[in-house]
Amino acid sequence: MRQRVTSLESAPLYTDDSYLLLDGLRLNVPVLTYTLDQHPRIEPLFRGTRHASVIQASPWLVKPSAAGRLLSECAAWQQYGLVLNSSATIQDLADHLRSLISISMPTGQLAYCRFYDPGWAIRLFNSMTRSEFSTWSGPIQKWLVCSEGDWYRYDNLDQACNRSASEEGWYRLRQEQLEQWQQQEYRSFLTRAAEYLGCTEGQPDYCQQYERIDQLTRQVQSYGLTMEHQILHYLELAWRFPDEMNSRYWVQHFANREQDAELRLSLAEQRLFGLEGST
């Protein structure tokens, strides 16, 4: 289903069935579109839906013209949108995409789905089964998504029926997908934390350091410190004062949930750095 496309010559090329799906919250889509293409067709997906009151934040479906420069100058939007190919009319395609604005969580609650954001699109598509991807894509034959300078192509091998805007929320996430995303987010945090602490993959002890950060992160989360800045603050102290932070005193200090998390961090920093009583 997924194929990596890295050569500039193949990502993306104009064809008669090419469309762009652009994030109106992060781009002024009409201005960008008409700057690069004199004869496009554009359609805000929130138009005619229950989201019309915030149409300024709508994703936009754009049908470029053959003579335009939208696809050839993809650097202007590739961080904020994606390309799709479909033989459907722009109205039928827009209607299907409107059915995807919200998705159902495993609990049944509806949530906005930013599938037109490249990062979210890749995460979502990679978590789907072939059947799920087919029903999600409907009349769309191919998606092209750029991530960190590389293009990824997702082919819909088993095209399904169009959905209508009135069916919005029909796609239901599986609990396994949420758990997969949580694990991805956690690993991404560990990588950022390692960089924050000066650990790089080229170091011979990087794997051991990464494992230690993992252990410390799980430990501090068990103390009720769950915000990213709180965890990083704790990791800084543990990195600077490893023996002290392993002591019974500091373990009990941080495990004391009756005390505010920020206060626990502040008191530990002051005492460990000898700043108590300083002016």
- Residue 233: pLDDT over 50: yes
Measured distance CA(51)–CA(49) in Å, rounded: 5
Residue 160, CB half-sphere, CA atoms under 13 Å: how many? Answer: 14
Measured distance CA(183)–CA(191) in Å, rounded: 12
Higher-confidence residue of 263 and 9: namely 263
The distance of Cα 250 from the centroid of its chain, to the nearest Å, equals: 36
- Residue 11: pLDDT over 80: no
Chain segment 16-74, per-residue pLDDT in tens: 999 999 999 999 999 999 999 999 999 999 999 999 999 999 999 999 999 999 999 99
Q: How confident is the model at residue 278, as a pLDDT?
A: 53
Measured distance CA(119)–CA(136) in Å, rounded: 17
State the DSSP H helix or E strand holding residue 78, giving kind and residue range, or none if neither.
none
> Closest by alpha carbon to 36, among 75, 88, 82, 4?
75
Report pTM.
0.79
Chain segment 127-159, per-residue pLDDT in tens: 999 999 999 999 999 999 999 889 999 999 887
| Lookup: tokens for 135 | 């029903």
Measured distance CA(154)–CA(157) in Å, rounded: 9
Q: How many residues does the chain have?
A: 279
> Can you tell me which residue has the tokens 């949108």?
81
Measured distance CA(268)–CA(107) in Å, rounded: 40
Measured distance CA(276)–CA(148) in Å, rounded: 45
DSSP 57: G
Residue 123, CB half-sphere, CA atoms under 13 Å: how many? Answer: 20
* 8 Å CB contact between 98 and 165: yes
